[in-house]
């Protein structure tokens, strides 16, 4: 059956006015990935990306490096969860945990990597457990996981057996896909989310049944293309 290559986007611009923009490192990671795939793997039958700019731009850099590759198709099922919405929803609760003498604004949270890591882990766990908040319109965790699983299902159903499909997406989306295939708990899914490198490749093989529970993970979080380039600065998480 099909092999789906789940590719995390290149490094984005954390701490800047537009996080969704690839950094210079992110563009380089994307180009190296494309060149490596061109040398080491058969061509893709289809190339998809979520709607976010960092996802689409990574896919386009990848496509140019591949040479002869199908056009990038946008599939909303592979959008990342709304991390801005999660912050707006649960920042008040996180600030309350720190105490009244330590008020935290969103700007302050984003200005400190250490504070961001601490706060965002708290907020994501709260979102996963569907804790109450006042931010209307935030996609629930359960619905996010259902959306990603349905996106995988759509790829399998719409392509011929033995198709090779590349999907450029984000860390949370890849973790949710692995949750569908491996039956991960929320805790393990969250742990997986934190460990996915930028421009990494995870391969999922769908056998004859085409069902998530029969799928196999052939490769996980592969960044051999960045390691071979010899630059430690190319190995990034965010």
What is the domain extent for residue 185? 3-79+140-234
Domain shared by 97 and 144, yes or no: no
- Inside any domain, residue 134: no
pLDDT grade for 136, boundaries at 50, 70 and 90 = confident
User: 60-70 pLDDT, tens per residue?
Assistant: 999 999 988 89
Give me the pLDDT at residue 17, please. Answer: 65
201 - beta bridge partners? 7, 222
For the domain that residue 207 is a member of, what is the CATH number? 3.40.50.1240
* Choice between 100 and 114, residue whose per-residue pLDDT is larger: 114
* Choice between 2 and 176, residue whose per-residue pLDDT is larger: 176
Domain shared by 96 and 150, yes or no: no
Kindly tell me if the per-residue pLDDT of 210 is higher than 80: no
User: 26-41 pLDDT, tens per residue?
Assistant: 999 999 999 999 998 8
Domain shared by 157 and 223, yes or no: yes
Domain shared by 27 and 111, yes or no: no
Domain shared by 216 and 151, yes or no: yes
Kindly tell me if the per-residue pLDDT of 127 is higher than 70: yes
Domain shared by 170 and 74, yes or no: yes
Domain shared by 101 and 124, yes or no: yes
**Residue 150 CB: number of other CB atoms within 10 A?**
12
Domain shared by 88 and 74, yes or no: no
- C-alpha 12/C-alpha 54 separation (Å) is 7
Across the chain, what does the average pLDDT equal? 91
Give me the pLDDT at residue 16, please. Answer: 65
What is the mean pLDDT of the segment spanning 164-172?
A: 97
The answer to pTM > 0.85 is yes
User: 174-188 pLDDT, tens per residue?
Assistant: 999 999 999 999 999
Kindly tell me if the per-residue pLDDT of 221 is higher than 90: yes
- Inside any domain, residue 155: yes
Kindly tell me if the per-residue pLDDT of 214 is higher than 90: no
Give how many domains the chain has, as a whole number. 2
Domain shared by 89 and 199, yes or no: no
Among candidate residues 61, 94, 128, the one where a domain is terminated: 128
Beta carbons within 8 Å of 25's beta carbon, 6+ residues apart? 10, 11, 198, 233, 234, 236
Kindly tell me if the per-residue pLDDT of 102 is higher than 80: no
- Inside any domain, residue 135: no
The conformational region for residue 61 under phi > 0 = left, psi -120 to 50 = alpha, else beta, is alpha
């Amino acid at each position: 059956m099909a092999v789906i290559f789940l590719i995390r986007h290149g490094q984005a611009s954390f701490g800047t006015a537009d996080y969704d923009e690839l950094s210079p490192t992110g563009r380089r990671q994307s180009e190296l990935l494309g060149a490596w795939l061109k040398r080491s793997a058969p061509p893709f039958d289809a190339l998809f990306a979520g709607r976010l700019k960092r996802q689409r731009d990574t896919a386009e850099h990848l496509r140019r490096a591949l040479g002869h590759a199908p056009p990038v198709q946008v599939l909303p099922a592979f959008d990342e969860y709304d991390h801005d919405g999660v912050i707006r929803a649960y920042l008040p609760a996180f600030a309350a945990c720190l105490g009244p003498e330590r008020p935290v604004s969103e700007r302050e949270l984003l200005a400190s990597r250490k504070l961001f890591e601490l706060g965002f882990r708290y907020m994501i766990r709260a979102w996963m457990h569907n804790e109450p908040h006042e931010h209307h319109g935030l996609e629930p965790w359960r619905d996010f996981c259902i959306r990603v699983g349905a996106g995988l299902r759509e790829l399998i159903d719409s392509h011929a057996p033995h198709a090779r499909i590349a999907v450029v997406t984000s860390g949370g989306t890849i973790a949710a896909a692995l949750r569908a295939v491996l039956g991960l708990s929320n805790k393990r899914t969250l742990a997986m989310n934190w460990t996915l490198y930028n421009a990494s490749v995870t391969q999922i093989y769908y056998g004859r049944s085409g069902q998530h529970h029969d799928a196999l993970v052939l490769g996980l979080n592969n960044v051999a293309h960045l390691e071979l380039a010899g630059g430690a600065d190319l190995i990034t998480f965010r």
